């Protein structure tokens, strides 16, 4: 299969509360990651790859030096968490900001912001330049999870190891809090980005808007909803769903970083292709984990795709073929980085491996 070209486990009864005393995140409660928070990857290559030494020139070059991926993940996650905490403070109206912070600061791997920062640094930019955009993509990602968990969508009560937003605050507030995060993401890029030319900020905002709209995430969501229970969903339609529903925002994360970092059009397009591949890779791995891991391991409800008879890669290809497809996507992604400085590309290569071999 060819890639499309780039261009409840809630422990207790569900509760709805209007009380502002319900465990809303504060600065003191903000997640702080340690090296044990992530997979044990101490270099560019994962254990799986180290046991099977690569033959191609790009990966051979990577073996020449060590890259401390754990430390990188911890550093960037804590940087992003602090920036998100600062950006979305608790203020009036308290209820809506409390709901926004509840989901935004609930943890998560922060893969999208890390991709944004890594792409910016790869093309010669500074992480502070990309930080507002990195926060924006995480705000949009959080919004998509809040809305996806609603009873009218996936009807999930469990996310990131906690009751979902609508279980705590009600469906109405969860919808509005998601809307608020979406709109604020654009405001944050426009007002908080520094030392970037206005035309690049405008280009980044346009890219972000396209990825989340009717040609991006929403398109994937709609086709996904219409495909539930259908027996004629093939690989092409499944790929369309996930290139839009999942890959589009991962693509925007990388592209925004490259734009903010001053990347050339050629560099941006190579990174776009890289991101498109790892975006689809992310979903293939997600599909595999959904049928091979428990809810406790995933931090969200496992096996829900089977319950609603959703078409997935394991359903169409089987587990082993899905894993082979994931390996192919990872290789294709990393090939797009071959012309970049391999030391500067190390975080993106490691993030691609992390996505490929993650366990939740």
Q: Which residue has the higher pLDDT, 259 or 303?
A: 259
Give residue 116's pLDDT band: very low, low, confident or very high (50, 70, 90). Answer: very high
pLDDT at 133 over 90: yes
Could you say which DSSP state residue 35 is in?
A: G
Residue 23: HSE in the Cβ half-sphere, 13 Å Cα cutoff: 10
As a whole-number percent, the residues of the chain with pLDDT over 70 amount to 77
pLDDT value of residue 63: 46
Distances (CA, A) of 267 to 4, 111, 119, 234: 19, 21, 10, 33
Burial class (CB within 10 angstroms; exposed 0-12, middle 13-18, buried 19+) of 196 = buried
Separation of alpha carbons 242 and 223, rounded Å: 10
pLDDT at 115 over 60: yes
Alpha helices in the chain (DSSP H): 47-50, 57-62, 69-87, 94-104, 111-122, 127-148, 165-169, 171-192, 198-212, 217-227, 235-245, 247-260, 265-292, 295-298, 304-307, 313-317, 319-335, 346-357
Q: Which residue has the higher pLDDT, 111 or 31?
A: 111
Give residue 154's pLDDT band: very low, low, confident or very high (50, 70, 90). Answer: confident
- The segment with the largest mean pLDDT, out of 255-269, 282-296, 298-312, is 255-269
- The segment with the largest mean pLDDT, out of 113-117, 158-162, 228-232, is 113-117
Q: Which residue has the higher pLDDT, 30 or 14?
A: 30
pLDDT at 46 over 90: no
- The DSSP line for 115-173 is HHHHHHHHTT--HHHHHHHHHHHHHHHHHHHHHHTSTTTT--SEETTEE-HHHHH-HHH
Instruction: Report the mean per-residue pLDDT for the chain.
Output: 83
Query: The pTM is what?
Result: 0.81
The helix-helix angle for 247-260 and 111-122 (nearest 10°) equals: 30
For range 255-261, the mean pLDDT: 98
In the chain, what is the greatest distance between 2 CA atoms, to the nearest angstrom? 59
Separation of alpha carbons 27 and 101, rounded Å: 10
Contact in structure between 212 and 182 (CB atoms under 8 Å): yes
The helix-helix angle for 247-260 and 235-245 (nearest 10°) equals: 40
Contact in structure between 100 and 56 (CB atoms under 8 Å): no
Burial class (CB within 10 angstroms; exposed 0-12, middle 13-18, buried 19+) of 90 = middle
For 222, the 3-state DSSP assignment is helix
pLDDT at 298 over 80: no
For 274, the 3-state DSSP assignment is helix
Separation of alpha carbons 19 and 24, rounded Å: 10
pLDDT at 25 over 80: no
Q: Give Cβ neighbours of residue 253 (< 8 Å, ≥ 6 apart).
A: 112, 113, 115, 116, 119, 134, 137, 275
For range 310-338, the mean pLDDT: 93
pLDDT value of residue 65: 60
Separation of alpha carbons 33 and 107, rounded Å: 9
For range 41-60, the mean pLDDT: 40
Domains of the chain: 55-357 (1.10.600.10)
For range 161-172, the mean pLDDT: 95
Give residue 51's pLDDT band: very low, low, confident or very high (50, 70, 90). Answer: very low
pLDDT value of residue 295: 64
Separation of alpha carbons 358 and 360, rounded Å: 6
pLDDT at 163 over 60: yes
Task: Give the residue from 253, 175, 180, 169 showing the smallest Cα distance to 211.
Answer: 253
Q: Which residue has the higher pLDDT, 310 or 173?
A: 173
Separation of alpha carbons 301 and 297, rounded Å: 10
pLDDT value of residue 50: 36
Give residue 306's pLDDT band: very low, low, confident or very high (50, 70, 90). Answer: low
pLDDT at 17 over 80: no
pLDDT at 125 over 50: yes
Separation of alpha carbons 2 and 342, rounded Å: 27
pLDDT value of residue 292: 83
- The segment with the largest mean pLDDT, out of 14-23, 55-64, 151-160, is 151-160
Give residue 238's pLDDT band: very low, low, confident or very high (50, 70, 90). Answer: very high
pLDDT value of residue 34: 54
């Amino acid at each position: 299969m060819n890639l499309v070209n780039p261009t409840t486990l809630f422990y207790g009864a569900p509760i709805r509360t209007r009380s502002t005393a319900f465990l809303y995140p504060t600065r003191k409660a903000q997640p702080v990651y340690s090296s044990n928070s992530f997979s044990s990857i101490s270099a560019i290559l994962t254990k799986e790859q180290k046991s099977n030494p690569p033959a191609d020139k790009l990966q051979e070059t990577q073996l020449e030096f060590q890259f401390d991926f754990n430390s990188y993940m911890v550093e960037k996650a804590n940087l992003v968490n602090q920036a998100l905490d600062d950006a979305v403070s608790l203020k009036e109206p308290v209820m809506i900001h409390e709901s926004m912070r509840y989901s935004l600061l609930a943890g998560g791997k922060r893969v999208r912001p890390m991709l944004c920062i890594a792409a910016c640094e790869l093309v010669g930019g500074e992480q502070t330049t990309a930080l507002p955009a990195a926060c924006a993509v995480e705000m949009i990602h959080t919004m998509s999870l809040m809305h996806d968990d609603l009873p009218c969508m996936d009807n999930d009560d469990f996310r990131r190891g906690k009751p979902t937003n609508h279980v705590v605050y009600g469906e109405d507030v969860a919808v509005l809090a998601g809307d608020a995060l979406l709109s604020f993401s654009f405001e944050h890029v426009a007002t908080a980005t520094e030392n970037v030319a206005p035309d690049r900020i405008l280009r980044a905002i346009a890219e972000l808007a396209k990825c989340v709209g009717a040609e991006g995430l929403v398109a994937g969501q709609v086709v996904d909803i219409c495909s539930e229970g259908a027996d004629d969903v093939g690989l092409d339609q499944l790929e369309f769903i996930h290139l839009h529903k999942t890959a589009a925002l991962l693509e925007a994360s990388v592209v925004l970083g490259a734009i903010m970092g001053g990347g050339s059009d050629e560099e941006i397009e190579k990174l776009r292709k890289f991101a498109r591949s790892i975006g689809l890779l992310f979903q293939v791995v997600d599909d595999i984990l959904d049928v091979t891991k428990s809810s406790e391991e995933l931090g969200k409800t496992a096996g829900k795709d089977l319950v609603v008879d959703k078409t997935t890669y394991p359903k169409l290809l089987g587990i082993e073929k899905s894993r082979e497809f994931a390996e192919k996507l990872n290789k294709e992604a990393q090939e797009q980085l071959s012309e970049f400085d391999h030391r500067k590309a190390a975080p993106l290569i490691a993030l691609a491996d992390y996505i490929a071999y993650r366990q939740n």
